[in-house]
Amino acid sequence: MRRPTGQKTQEVFKSIERVFIIACGTSNYAGNVGKYLIEQLAKVPVECDIASEFRYRNPVIPAKSLVITISQSGETADTLAAIRMAKEMGATTLSICNVKSSTIDREAHGHLYMNSGPEIGVASTKAFTSTMAVLNTLAIAIARTRGVMNEAEEKELVKSLLAVPSQMEGVLSYDKYFEEAASSLKLFRGFLYMGRGTSFPIAMEGALKLKELAYMHAEGYAAGEMKHGPLALIDERMAIVMVAPTDHLYEKTISNLEEARARGGKVISIGTGDNEKLREISEHYLAIPKAHWTVNAILSVIPLQLMSYHLASNLGYDVDQPRNLAKSVTVE
């Protein structure tokens, strides 16, 4: 990656004082996972913005900023406008795209690729998980370059990433489970998806997938926000989807889950391994393999994607071509 001045990638990573991640929809939720990764691993402050808001709020972009844009197609209109604005303001820009030589890819100073192959369906799935893998490696690279991560820590994180494909195979076995459960799940009047840390943007992404594919009401919340309004919605016809892998926020997440359950909500939970506590308080418990917190998000989102797919299919909807949506959003 080079700036117009010829500055090299390592020089950029050492000099940046702030990171902006700009994207829309699913890519924005992946960017929010990236915010947690870069801040916690590389110790650089990160702002994550929706492109259509960022470009119109007259953002302040300090000189030593790295602006990262994420777009599966590389043609998203608002994201393209945001990267052009950032360049005009003197920031270094980095694109994460799935389509090489797309407009955003061409216009950015630096380039990273999802390499997830063509997605047939309008709703993004494998591009989302690929983006989270790219953001993991980017956070590691920035951290190592800035000297805030040692070689042993780097090896541990890379090892956890390399283990993900085989771990994903096990999680994909929930395909049959959701195929059978869809007929009962579709009877709920709404779904509240919740999580903390990297599980919060995963909750928002899960809710988005249900809206996109099954046309059902769903909202994603930070679990700690439940008492600030969403609790009023909970009754026996409301499903609570809690993303609660075992991490440093697990105990607080469980406390939020018990609040929801006490008010009659029917719980679908995603946790780590054979978690008896979650199994006991949930109508449906889905286990992901034990993994480093940095990759939990990649594993946790798969059951949510499968649930949306099978609910939509059970309702008779076309999962590849949801109504009113387009694969590449090239207009505002």
Alpha helices in the chain (DSSP H): 9-15, 25-42, 51-54, 77-88, 103-107, 126-145, 151-162, 164-171, 174-185, 199-214, 250-262, 276-281, 293-314
The residues, ordered by sequence, that sit 6+ positions from 230 with a Cβ below 8 Å of its Cβ are 192, 219, 221
pTM here is 0.93
How many percent of the chain have pLDDT more than 90? 74
Residue 278 tokens, joined: 């979650």
What is the pLDDT, as a whole number, of residue 43? 97
What is the pLDDT, as a whole number, of residue 171? 94
b/e 48-79 (16+ beta carbons within 10 angstroms → b): bbbbbebbeeebebeeebbbbbbbbbbbbbbb
pLDDT digits (tens, 9 = 90+) for 178-219: 999 998 899 898 999 999 999 999 999 999 999 999 999 999
Q: At what angle do helices 293-314 and 25-42 cross, to 10 degrees?
A: 170
Q: Are 311 and 187 in contact (CB under 8 A)?
A: no
Residue 28 tokens, joined: 């924005």
pLDDT digits (tens, 9 = 90+) for 223-282: 988 888 888 888 888 899 999 999 999 999 988 888 888 888 889 999 999 999 999 989
